[in-house]
Structure 1
Amino acid sequence: MTKIDRRGNSPRRQPLVSRRALLRGAQAGAFSLVTARSLPLVRAQTLPKETADHKIRIAPTSVEIAPGMVIKTTAYNGTVPGAVLRVREGQPVRIEVTNDSGYPNLIHSHGLMIPSLQDGATEEGSPIIEAGKSLTYEYVAKPAGTRWYHSHAMAMTDLNKSTYTGEFGFLIVEPAAGDPGSYDREVLLAAHHWDGQWVSLQDIKKGPPPDNGLEVMYHVATLGDRMLGHGEPIRVREGERVLFRLLNASGNMGISLALSGHRFKVLALDGNPVPTPATVDILKLDVAERADVIVEMNNPGVWVFGSTDDDDRNMGMGVVVEYAGRGGEPAWSAPANSKWDYTVFGRSDVPAAAPDETISLKFEKIPGGRGGYNRWTINGKSWPHTNPLFTVVKGKRYRLLLNNNSGDEHPVHLHRHSFEVTKVGDKPTSGVIKDTISLPRYSTAEVDFVADDPGPTFFHCHHQDHMDEGFAGLIIYE
Structure 2
Amino acid sequence: MIINRRNFIGTAAVGGSTAALANWFPAWAQPVSAGITAPLPTVSGEDISLRIARQTMRVDGKVSRAIGVNGTIPAPLIRLREGQTVRLSVTNDLDEDSSIHWHGLILPFQMDGVPGVSFPGIKPRSTFVYEFPVVQSGTYWYHSHSGLQEQLGHYGPIVIDPKGQDPIAYDREHVVVLSDHSQLSPEAIFRKLKVNPGHFNMQRQTVGGLLAGKDQPLKERLDWGKMRMDPTDIADVNGSTYTFLVNGYGPKDNWTALFTPGERVRLRIINASAMSIFNVRIPGLRMSIVQADGLNVRPIEVDEFQMGVAETYDVIVTPADDRAYTLVAEANDRSGLGRATLAPRPGMAAEVPPLRERPLATMKDMGMGDMDMSGAASGGDPAGLGDMDMSAAAAPAADCPPEHAKMGHCTPAEGGATAADHAAMGHGAGAMSHSMRDFSVAPQVKRDPSVQTISPMPVDRMNEPGQGLEDVGHKVLTYHDLVALERNPDVRAPERSLDIHLTGNMERFMWSFDGIKMSDYHQPIPFIEGERVRINLINDSMMSHPIHLHGHFFELVTGKGAFSPRKHTVLVQPGGTASFDFTADAVGDWAFHCHLLYHMHAGMMRVVSVRPRGDAA
Q: Give the TM-score band, short-chain normalised.
A: 0.7 to 0.9
| Correspondent of 1:63 among 57, 74, 99 | 57
SS in 2 for 1:317: strand
Partner residue, 1:172 = 159
- Cα distance, 1:311–1:329 mapped onto 2, change above 3 Å: farther
Partner residue, 2:246 = 223
Question: Mapping of 1:28-427 within 5 angstroms?
Answer: 53-66=47-60, 68-155=61-148, 162-180=149-167, 182-195=169-182, 196=184, 197=189, 198=192, 200=196, 202=198, 206-207=203-204, 215-217=236-238, 218-230=241-253, 233-274=256-297, 276-308=298-330, 315=336, 317-324=338-345, 329-332=349-352, 336=473, 338-346=475-483, 353-369=492-508, 374-423=509-558
- Cα distance, 1:60–1:327 mapped onto 2, change above 3 Å: closer
| Correspondent of 2:575 among 442, 454, 459 | 442
Give the aligned CA root-mean-square deviation in angstroms. Answer: 3.0
Structure 1 position 333, deviation (Å): 5.2
Q: Which has the larger radius of gyration?
A: 2
- Cα distance, 1:260–1:473 mapped onto 2, change above 3 Å: same
Structure 1 position 240, deviation (Å): 0.6
Q: For residues 259 and 116 of structure 1, what CA distance do their matches in structure 2 show?
A: 38
Partner residue, 2:19 = none
SS in 1 for 2:97: coil
Segments of 5+ residues of structure 2 without an aligned counterpart are 12-44, 205-223, 355-471, 612-617
SS in 2 for 1:288: coil
Segments of 5+ residues of structure 1 without an aligned counterpart are 11-50, 156-161
Q: For residues 322 and 310 of structure 1, what CA distance do their matches in structure 2 show?
A: 26
- Cα distance, 1:341–1:389 mapped onto 2, change above 3 Å: farther
Matched-pair contact (CA < 8 Å) for 2:140–2:270: no
Structure 1 position 435, deviation (Å): 0.2
Residue 4, structure 1, aligned to residue 33, structure 2: no
SS in 1 for 2:518: coil
Structure 1 stretch displaced more, 124-133 or 181-190: 124-133
Structure 1 stretch displaced more, 197-206 or 221-230: 197-206
Matched-pair contact (CA < 8 Å) for 1:418–1:449: yes
Matched-pair contact (CA < 8 Å) for 2:112–2:551: yes
SS in 1 for 2:237: strand
Tell me which amino acid in the other structure corresponds to 1:290: T
- Cα distance, 1:336–1:327 mapped onto 2, change above 3 Å: farther
Q: For residues 173 and 164 of structure 1, what CA distance do their matches in structure 2 show?
A: 25
- Cα distance, 1:386–1:8 mapped onto 2, change above 3 Å: farther
Matched-pair contact (CA < 8 Å) for 1:364–1:405: yes
Tell me which amino acid in the other structure corresponds to 1:74: I
- CA offsets 1:343-395 (integer angstroms, 9 cap, x no match): 11127xx99641112111111112344xxxx1122122221444434221111
Q: For residues 316 and 61 of structure 1, what CA distance do their matches in structure 2 show?
A: 25
Q: For residues 411 and 192 of structure 1, what CA distance do their matches in structure 2 show?
A: 15
- CA offsets 1:33-88 (integer angstroms, 9 cap, x no match): xxxxxxxxxxxxxxxxxx9711111111112233x222321011111111111112
Question: Mapping of 1:454-473 within 5 angstroms?
Answer: 454-473=587-606
SS in 1 for 2:551: coil
Q: For residues 83 and 309 of structure 2, what CA distance do their matches in structure 1 show?
A: 27
- Cα distance, 1:444–1:101 mapped onto 2, change above 3 Å: same
Matched-pair contact (CA < 8 Å) for 2:51–2:70: yes
Structure 1 stretch displaced more, 408-417 or 188-197: 188-197
Matched-pair contact (CA < 8 Å) for 1:386–1:472: no
- Cα distance, 1:54–1:8 mapped onto 2, change above 3 Å: farther
- Cα distance, 1:310–1:261 mapped onto 2, change above 3 Å: farther
Aligned residue pairs: how many? 419
Matched-pair contact (CA < 8 Å) for 2:278–2:308: yes
Structure 1 position 293, deviation (Å): 0.7
Structure 1 position 231, deviation (Å): 5.1
Q: For residues 236 and 118 of structure 2, what CA distance do their matches in structure 1 show?
A: 30
SS in 2 for 1:131: coil
Partner residue, 1:23 = none
Q: For residues 105 and 292 of structure 2, what CA distance do their matches in structure 1 show?
A: 14
Matched-pair contact (CA < 8 Å) for 1:389–1:473: yes
Q: For residues 78 and 390 of structure 1, what CA distance do their matches in structure 2 show?
A: 39
Tell me which amino acid in the other structure corresponds to 2:338: M
Q: For residues 229 and 576 of structure 2, what CA distance do their matches in structure 1 show?
A: 22
Q: For residues 360 and 268 of structure 1, what CA distance do their matches in structure 2 show?
A: 28
- Cα distance, 1:264–1:181 mapped onto 2, change above 3 Å: closer
Q: For residues 120 and 4 of structure 2, what CA distance do their matches in structure 1 show?
A: 50
SS in 2 for 1:343: helix
Q: For residues 4 and 138 of structure 1, what CA distance do their matches in structure 2 show?
A: 47
Q: For residues 118 and 550 of structure 2, what CA distance do their matches in structure 1 show?
A: 13
- CA offsets 1:170-225 (integer angstroms, 9 cap, x no match): 11222122435610011001011111533536567645976799943423111123
Matched-pair contact (CA < 8 Å) for 2:289–2:314: yes
- Cα distance, 1:202–1:178 mapped onto 2, change above 3 Å: closer
Matched-pair contact (CA < 8 Å) for 2:326–2:349: no
- Cα distance, 1:3–1:260 mapped onto 2, change above 3 Å: farther
Q: For residues 332 and 578 of structure 2, what CA distance do their matches in structure 1 show?
A: 29
- Cα distance, 1:229–1:260 mapped onto 2, change above 3 Å: farther
Tell me which amino acid in the other structure corresponds to 1:434: K
Q: For residues 542 and 333 of structure 2, what CA distance do their matches in structure 1 show?
A: 21
Q: For residues 235 and 452 of structure 1, what CA distance do their matches in structure 2 show?
A: 42
Q: For residues 236 and 185 of structure 1, what CA distance do their matches in structure 2 show?
A: 7
Q: For residues 447 and 202 of structure 1, what CA distance do their matches in structure 2 show?
A: 32
**Please, what TM-score do these two structures have when normalized by structure 2?**
0.63
Greater length-normalized contact order (CA 8 Å, ≥ 6 residues apart): 1
- Cα distance, 1:205–1:148 mapped onto 2, change above 3 Å: closer
Structure 1 position 228, deviation (Å): 2.4
Judging by fraction of residues, say which structure has more strand. 1
